[in-house]
Structures are given as C-alpha cells and as structure tokens.
Structure 1
Amino acid sequence: MSDTIFALASAPGRAGVSVIRVSGPQAFEVARLICGDLPQARCATLRRLSDATGQFLDEALVLVFEPGRSFTGEAVVEFQVHGSAAVIGAVLRTLSEIEGCRQAEPGEFTRRALENERMDLTQVEALADLIDAETESQRRQALRVLSGALGDLVGQWRKDVIRAGALIEATIDFADEEVPTDVTPEVSALLDSVLAGLSRELSGLSAAERVRTGFEVAIVGPPNAGKSTLLNYLAGREAAITSDIAGTTRDVIEVRMEIAGLAVTLLDTAGLRETSDAVETLGVDLARRRALAADLRIHLLPAGTNPLIEVTDGDILVAAKADSMVGGSGVSGLTGRGVPELLENIGARLCDRTADAGLAARERHRVVLGEGKAHLLAARDLLNQGAEMYDLAAEELRAGARVLSSLLGHVDVEDLLDEIFSSFCVGK
C-alpha cells in the first residue's frame, strides 16, 4: 500500500457536485500541488484547483482526513468539484500526472480500509450490499451488518472459543499436578452458548439471503388465464406480449419490483398444457421447472379449473379474469381488480418468511459457520470422553477459532479478497 491512489468516488455523468478522493502516504503532498495550503482537518474549505502549469481547473470544497481517522485509515483528501465531465476529466488527468499517484483499482479504497482494520470482511460485504440495495429491507439489512453487528457477534464467539481452549490447555499443562477446579462445566457452557448462536444464524441464513438477493414469485396457470396481462399491470409497462392465442408466452418473462419493502422478481410462465408444438413444449417444461423452484407461486385459475402443478404451503390460489366476474373475489390484470389485495397477500407471506432472518446472508457465511459448528461439536464430543481426549478437543477448538477468524477476514482469505473486490466500482 505504498502507492497513493485517486478516483472519482461519486457516480459518473453530469451532476451538481462530484467527489474525487485521494488516499495514501502522499495524499497531503498531492493535494498541496493542486490546491495550495490544505484546510484544517475535517473542515470543508473552498480552494482553487490548478494543474502543474498553474492552469485554473475549478473551485472546489476540499476535505482533509488524517491517518487513522479516515475511511481507508490512511491520509485522505476529497475534492468536491463541479460535476461536469470536463472538470472531472481535467482534475483526474492532473492527478495522474503527479509522480507516485495512480488511478485506484475497483474496491481498492475499501480493501485498504480492511487491511488497515477499519472494517472487517463482513462489513466489506455489507458495504457492497448497501451500494447494490434496491429496497428498504435490503438497506436495513446491509446497514445492520455494516454497523459491525455480525462482526461483534462472531468476535464474541471467537473469544468464548479461545477461552474454552485456554481452560483445556491449562488442564493439560497441569495434568501431573492437582488442579483445584474442574474446568469441564465452564468449557461445556461456553461451547453450548456458541453452538446455540451458530445454529440460530444458520437457521436464519436462508431468509437473510433472500432479503439480500430477492424472492422469485411465479405466476402459473393454463393458457389465456391472464398471466401476462397481470404481469404487465404489476410492472406498469408492456413487459410481456399478450394475445388471445394460446401458447403466446413460450419463455419465462422476468420483472423486478418491490413488494412490501422486499425485492421480488415476478415470473410470467408459459401456459401449462399438453401440446404437440415442440417449441411450446420446451416452454411449458421450463415454466414448470421455474415455477417449482420459485419461492412462491400465484395460481391463476379460470372458472371451473384446478391447479396444474402441485400447490405447496404458502402458495396463493386466485380466480383469474375477475373483470368478467360478477361479485366474488379474483384478480384482473386488465382492470386492476383485486391487484392491491393480491400484492398485500404476497407481501404478507414473504415477510413471514423473513421474520427469522439473521445477520449472516451469504453462501460464504454458511460454509464458514457450518465448518465452525462442526469443529465445536467435535470438541464437545471429545471433551465428554474424558481427560485423555483433551489434546484432541483443544485442537478442534483451535481449528474452530481459526475458522471463525476467517469469517472476519483475519486469516486464509487472500484468494477470496480478489473476487470480492472485483465486484466493487472504481472509487469505492
């Protein structure tokens, strides 16, 4: 991290204000070259920016952050310039011409924050989730983890595991002496507490992952049940072709939207029926597979028909084409009748599934928590077999603590970091 890096930290394109960030050991010297004297730390001050020849670039608000008190943990200077492509280009070009100062790579500012222990790896992942958040539930979940809640939880587990290991190690070290206290009850209590916490997070992980990535809701039914019309009404646009000809929809049409604060992808599937058309048959087979894999299915049922695929717990059955009905309940994508009630129903059922969502929300978290739990279960079993197994139990506890440390990015994650930060935008 000897280089000083810079990048546009705000979105590209025309704006009232754009932010250019400089971070690294030479950040203050670099800033002085283009704005003269630096303002007091953390006090936004107006400065004239100039290039190496003295050419005036822009007037900007300049913010200075001292090492250890910045996002990256390094010396940081931010320039809030006028957000035109010409101004941004001129300032970035001037920075690139300064020796020892280079364009940041994707996620490099955040990677430096991790390496300088300003964040742990769960917070880095949460920051990426926050940037990508489309819904209120995603925003709230990302902020919980970004605040350090998951890191604090894992840190406490790790502390308890290390304490348990230390107690067993002490017993081993004084095996030839009379130890006044039996440490087994305390070690067992520590392990039981950590295992209970790991189990809770693992049980809530699928729900949290759905909040992060979104739910899939499939609209299913026979041909001409009004599936595509309903999808278009919900999307507020012509996302799917509609006609009276059976078999019009042959592929799965997807529309992303927000329902009850949750990210939901609605799937319009091919009408379910037996057909001699080879292409339509492929569409029907795909519709069945996608519908069965979805988190929730809306079965649109024309009068006198039954569901054409298995109805699972939580699915919604609703009468189709309510615009042609007199009385009764149903839904119509043509007039919107019953749509508010349908959306409320979908939202309630999906919210029920997120009630037990934990803090862990990624497959990496599932793998690490599962490995940690396995080591601790093995340690508990060995502990229960008596003092002759304490050596092996201590080794399992060391392995468990090491695995939990990897969740926070402290050990064995170098290969993973490149993959994680490659998804970040330049400037973050």
Structure 2
Amino acid sequence: MLDDHLRPVLDDVIARNRHEPEFHQAAREVFESIAPAIKRRPEYLDAGVVQRMCEPERQLIFRVPWTDDGGRVHVNRGFRVEFNSALGPYKGGLRFHPSVYLGIVKFLGFEQIFKNALTGLPIGGGKGGSDFDPKGRSDAEVMRFCQSFMTELARHIGEYTDVPAGDIGVGGREIGYMFGQYKRITNRYEAGVITGKGLTWGGSHARTEATGYGLIFFVREMLRAAGQDLDGRRVVVSGSGNVAQYATEKLQALGATVVAVSDSSGYVVDEAGIDLPLLQEIKEVRRGRISEYAEERGGSVRFVSEGSIWDVPCDIALPCATQNELDAVAARRLITNGTMLVAEGANMPCTPEAVDALTEAGVAFAPGKAANAGGVATSALEMQQNAERDSWSFGYTEQRLEEIMQGVHHRCVVTADDYDRPGDLVTGANISGFIRVADTMLDLGVI
C-alpha cells in the first residue's frame, strides 16, 4: 500500500509523465518500499529529495538518419536520459529495440539509480537507446546507424559526465562502431567514455559474463542464507542472449541443470541440460532462432512456439529476457510446480501482480536492481582500469564481481532487517539504494 505522504508525489509523477506506464510502474514499486525510510527521515520529503529523484536531470531525444545497403534513407529516434548524478557520472546502457521510447528509457534510468547505488561504487544513473532494430541488418547497416547515433550522442557524454554501455541489441559489435566514431569525432582516445569494449582496446575481462555471473552469485547468496546450495537444482532461464547464456554457464559450473531457454519465437526444453556451445553458436555467430537449437540437438529436445517457458517445472526461475515477461498467471504456475526461488536477470521482468503472488506464497524473490547489478558493477571496474591505464586478469575481476554481489546481497538483507521486513529483498534493495542517493543529495544542496 502507498503511504499517504508519498501518494501525492506519485500522482504528480504520473501526471507529469503521461503515457509512460513502465516508468509509472518502476516509480510505484520504489514508493511502496521507501515509506518506512520517509517516516524515519521526513526531511527526505520536506527537502524535495524524492521529488527531485523522480525528475531526470536531463532528457535528450534526437534524430538518427542512416542509409541501408540499398541506399534508402531511414530515420530513427535516439534517446539518452541522464537521470541522477549525485553519486558519480551517469552510468547505464544503450538499448536498440523497436519497443524503445522515452517511457522505457526513463523506467530503465530510474531503476539504474538504485541499482548503481547498491553496488557501493561511485556511479550515477542513466539510460539510453533507440527504436532501431539491428536484427536482420547487415554489419554495414549497423555500422552506419551506430556512427550516426554517436555523432549526436558524442556531445553529451564523457568519462566524467556520462558513460554508456550495452543493453538489449547492443553488444560488442555496436560498442565498437560507436567508440570508433566517438574517437574520430573528438580526436581523443578516451577509453573510459564507454564500457563493454573489446579486450584489445580498453575493455575488461569478465565484463561480457558479468551480468549473468553476478546474477548467479546473488542467487547463491540467497540459497546460502537459507542453508542450501545450487548443486542438483533444476533451473529455467528465459531469454538466450548475453545474460541468459552466462547465467547458464555459471549455473552449470556450480552443479545446476538449466533445462529451458527462450527467445521471442518460443522456448526449448532440453532435459539433459542446455548445450551452451551450441546455443552460443546459433545466437551469437549465426544470429539465428532458438528453434534451430532443437533441430540440431535432436533427440528428446523440443521447441515450443506457443505457451510460456514458465510452464516448465523448475526449482529456480530466472527471467532474463525483458520487462513484464512474467505475469501473475505465470507466477501461479511456478508456485504450483514447486519453484522455490525467482531472481530477476532482466530489468523489471516480473509484473507487480507476479511479485505479490510469489512473495505471498513464500517463494524467495530477488529484484533486478539487486540481482542483475553485476553488469554495471563490472562496467565501473572497467572504468577504473581505464583511469589507471591498467588491465586486470579474468580471475581477479571475477573475484571483485563476486565480492560486490555479496555486498549487494548483504546490504539488502541488513536493510530489510533494520526496517522490520526480514527476507524482503525488494524493500531492502529499494531502501538501501534510496538512502545512499538521498543522503548525498541532501549534502549537495538543492540542485
């Protein structure tokens, strides 16, 4: 339930940001959690901290013209929402997907404020992207789009200002094209201006794996707190991109069996455990569809184009695809099938109704702003290496990532306990991240 003191603030946020339901959903979830912190520290509301935190410091929308291989001109929209820089330069990924519009970018940027704060690292929150769809486009077309996109974005970013990274539709190829254009425009080799770079030109070991690995490190901490472990667990992972692939890799290394993955065309069930090299060959090299996995794997592996991946029985469910993919119906199916833990690998993949159903049924639940913070944490480690003109080993970087995720889990647990909500990681994550940013904003004055 929403606190009476916060209700008018949320009403104002909704009124000022009409037709942006994803942003409304993200704001409501935070507001429902932070009421105890506001009651304990009313100055957060009196000094306008909550109100200011909901208003981006800067919102950029720009035209991105480009030509396809046939010489036809296309025009897309580019976005960058620089939401909050209290803790450090804006930090957050770029998403290239047809669904991208200002409301999606604002929801992602708002979530990023608290996620970045939870890592304990000096980074603010931001997000960006475009409604461009790289799927089915040639490398040359993607390059021309990325160069046009960066031609405008370059004037707004910098290693001490705003540091983008990748997200859905933006991988190493796209980061390379954008960084190349930035370098050409500025005539400077500022490696720290963007993260997710290749290892030979300023990237960090373990960055590619970081979000998926970090998710599993967080899940392992949840299980440890309950006196359990991953060995022998049956896991379903939605999606088949970067996060899903490396979550699967780490799960298999720790003794779990991933039996299902998906993409927008359907899902595959492989009772023997997902063949990760084959999945990566299909998705990363060929840029193919998940149905090809079933065709090539053969045997009892099946591809399902209808229904939901959450129909597959599992001990642990990890939604790693996109926002609001797991609804109340799916949550009830997981509960019926005996699922014990759900952790968000994507950003806000569970609807509020799904979260309510899971928590009421006693299913352990971890919100994305905590569970998938490993990606941005390792991006911050990449920034640190760039600033030092240094490069760390894979093992050392992974160790730092594991320590950070343990710290995120600890902050969530301790904060939840402090506010008499033991085991409630949603409340713990939201209040912990909020307090760190809010206290800094109070220190910095009304800006």
Provide TM-score, normalisation by structure 1: 0.22
Provide TM-score, normalisation by structure 2: 0.22
In our comparison, the structure showing a higher alpha carbon Rg is: 1
